[in-house]
Structure 1
Amino acid sequence: MLLLTQDQRECLISNGQNRGDHVPVVKFFSPVGAATWLLPELDGDGDTLFGLADLGFGCPELGSVSLSEIAAVTLPLGLSIERDLHFEACFPLTVYADAARLVGRITEDEARLEAAALAQRENAR
C-alpha cells in the first residue's frame, strides 16, 4: 500500500514548514499489533515525520519517525504498516497526545478527545 498520497505529502511538508499545533494528516497502523502513528508534519528531507507514536507499550509519545523505516517494516504473514483510509482528524495533535496520555494509548474516542480539548482551553485561561 502507498503510505502517502501526493496531496498528503504536500500537506505534511507544508505543516512541517509552518510549525504549529496541526491536525494530523495521516494515521498509520499495524494490522497485526497495537502500533499506531498520528502524523501532521513531514520535514523537507521527505523522510522525517513528526507526530504521536504509540507502539503499544502504554506510553504514547510525541517525536520524529522515519517514513522509510516505517515503510520497510515487514510484519507476519507478509503484511506491512498501513495507512488508515478512513481516518479524519478533528483536533490538533496536542489534543490527541493529551487524551493518549490519559488512557495509555492513542484514542479516537470523541468524548475523551473533547475532554482533552476542554482541559486545554481551561489551562489556557
Structure 2
Amino acid sequence: MKKILVVGLFLIFACGSESKAQAPDAVKKTFQAKYPGENDPDWHQDDHGYFEAHFKIDGIKYRADFNADGSWVETETSIKKKDLPKAIKDVIKDKYGSEDISEIEKVDSASKGVFYDVEFKQKGKNKDVEFKADGTIIG
C-alpha cells in the first residue's frame, strides 16, 4: 500500500503543464552562443515542445524558447506600462482605454522581430494584442 501511495504522489508531482527538462546539446549550444556568460538557466519544456531557458541578466528575468534542433524561437521579458514606447501607449489609450492590462512583455522573435505583447484582462480568457514599437497592431 505504501508503494502505491508513493508512486501515486510521484505521478501527481511529476505531471504538470510545464515539466523540468534537460535541454538537448544543440539547444544548450545555441543558448550559450546567444547569451554568453549565462551558465545556469532553468530549463523547462512547455506544452508546445519548446525548450525554455529561464534566466536573469542584470536582475531582469528572461525566458528564451528554442526548438529541439537548437533553433532559437524567441526571448521575452516582462516590462511595465511606463516602459512601452509612446506610440503604443497612445494606441492603447485610444483603442483600449477602459480595459485593464494584466501583463506586458517585450518579445524578440526569430520570425516577427521585436514586438510588445500586451495582455488585457477579460472575462474568461484574456486578450493578447501584439504591437510593433511604432504602435502598429500585428496580432
Q: TM-score, normalised by structure 2?
A: 0.26
Structure with higher helix content:
1
TM-score by length of 1: 0.28
With CA pairs under 8 Å and 6+ residues apart, which has the higher RCO, 1 or 2? 1
Choose between structure 1 and 2: higher strand proportion: 2
- Rg comparison, structure with higher value: 2
